[in-house]
Amino acid sequence: MKSKNLSHLERIKRQIEQEIKEQNAWRSECINLIASENIMSKICERAYVSDFMHRYAEGEPYKRYYQGTKYIDDIESIAQELMGELLHTSFTDVRPISGTIANYAALSAFTKPCDAVFSLATAAGGHISHNPVGAPGVLGLDVHCYPFDNEIFNIDIDKATREIIETKPKVLILGASLFLFPHPVEEIKSIAEEVGAVVMYDAAHVLGLIMGGEFQNPIREGADIITSSTHKTFPGPQGGLVATNHADYFKGLKRGVFPRLTSNHHLHRLPALALTALEFLNYGEAYAKQTVKNAKTLAEECYSLGLPVICEHLGFTKSHQVVMDVKKLGISSKEAVENLERANIITNKNLLPWDTIKQVHDPSGIRFGVQEMTRFGMKESEMRVIAEFLKNIILDKEDPEKVKEDVVEFRREFQEVKYGFNGER
């Protein structure tokens, strides 16, 4: 019996090892267009695995509740300083273990149960941590959705002004998961001052574009605080941050992070985060510029091939994202993304502002992000090739297995991470 159990455990062990191997091999042959993912450089990956993963460091650097933290204190301080330099913020906390935890921490710092907050509806791009199913619901907040103008694909500021003044919320949340264009930060800040609200900008998707100077800087435009993850257009380890230039706000943010929502904060990611920040100080501007160029090129080329890219009248996009409304073609987004995956093109179906929440499992949209493929050195010419692949699957209904052969061959030339210490621009 004992021998049989050991044999069974050995099979499970081998299965896990094999699936890790297959995952790594498979993704090296894929065109990854998930807008919320990225990849670290090899030097950052190596820094991610260390003795720090076994340790605890509750509290702040040099003010811990545990002993044995002298090295992580230094690294965490460096990471805070470098991320603050990139964001132009005086106070930065990198302890949140995700962007969602950062949002919880910020909302808990500035609200109490039954307080009103404003955010984008999920179909209009709002993240789940901005809405009743996420942090605001857990905190017992009264969530109001900004009126959204489909024509400008953004907040309807006139209607929003009237509703905000009437409601008098405590927090106005900006930033999105579906995020093509800058949000009206200055206008929202003006309304916030009138009602005494805090402007919170969730930069998770566009953090790297902000740091690279290719997207609006929310702090400069009037946002009071920034929350973010650290692994989308900013190509660091999975984690989060909160930042501000207001010392009094920062006290509340820190309390929200610890002790309210984290104990230990996954120390092994901090050396990798600091090194990614150093890479970004060297290569971030070039990377962000190329990312936006690539998104624009992919959108334009897809549109020219007859694919239903939205917001043509607005120039398609000013971020890393490109969005299609495949319902216009009378096809299922669920089926389309599954066929794309069979061809080794990874993306996701997405609600659009004109969808209802009931369509969440088969919405109108497909969302693409070019940041990871840019990180592997792809430029405008490669975006045109990718557009052809998308056309082959979505419009021409070609056999995904046949397209996959071309995708694998194409991807073979793009294996080395660029814009980092082990790559070239």
Nearest Cα neighbor of 69 from 82, 86, 51, 85 is: 51
Q: How high is the pLDDT of residue 423?
A: 58
Name the pLDDT band for 418 (thresholds 50, 70, 90): very high
Name the pLDDT band for 237 (thresholds 50, 70, 90): very high
**Would you say 204 and 175 are in contact if contact means Cβ atoms under 8 Å apart?**
yes
Dump pLDDT digits (tens) for 115-142: 999 999 999 999 999 999 999 999 999 9
Pairing of β 198-202 and β 171-174: parallel
Q: How high is the pLDDT of residue 358?
A: 87
Name the pLDDT band for 6 (thresholds 50, 70, 90): confident
Name the pLDDT band for 362 (thresholds 50, 70, 90): very high
Residue 192 phi, psi (nearest 5): -60, -40
- Rounded mean pLDDT, 349-367: 94
- Rounded mean pLDDT, 313-338: 97
Q: Could you give the CA distance from residue 73 to residue 60 in angstroms, rounded to a whole number?
A: 8
**Would you say 400 and 414 are in contact if contact means Cβ atoms under 8 Å apart?**
no
- Rounded mean pLDDT, 209-227: 98
Q: Could you give the CA distance from residue 42 to residue 40 in angstroms, rounded to a whole number?
A: 7
DSSP bridge partners of 149: 154
Task: Give yes or no for residue 327 having a pLDDT over 90.
Answer: yes
- Rounded mean pLDDT, 335-343: 98
Concatenate the DSSP letters of all residues of 233-266 into one string.
SS-S-S-EEEEES-HHHHHHHHHIIIIII-SS--
- Rounded mean pLDDT, 394-421: 97
Name the pLDDT band for 2 (thresholds 50, 70, 90): low
Q: How high is the pLDDT of residue 422?
A: 73
Q: Could you give the CA distance from residue 79 to residue 75 in angstroms, rounded to a whole number?
A: 6
Dump pLDDT digits (tens) for 171-216: 999 999 999 999 999 999 999 999 999 999 999 999 999 999 999 9
Dump pLDDT digits (tens) for 252-286: 999 999 999 999 999 999 999 999 999 999 999 99
Q: Above pLDDT 90, what percent of the chain?
A: 96
**Would you say 379 and 329 are in contact if contact means Cβ atoms under 8 Å apart?**
no
Q: Residue 281: CB partners within 8 Å, gap ≥ 6?
A: 82, 85, 86
Please report, for residues 21, 129, 310, 372, the alpha-carbon distance to residue 367 in angstroms, rounded to integers and kept in the order given: 28, 19, 11, 14
- Rounded mean pLDDT, 58-71: 95
Q: Residue 361: CB partners within 8 Å, gap ≥ 6?
A: 334
Q: Mind listing the domains of the chain with CATH numbers?
A: 44-276 (3.40.640.10), 284-411 (3.90.1150.10)
Q: Above pLDDT 70, what percent of the chain?
A: 98
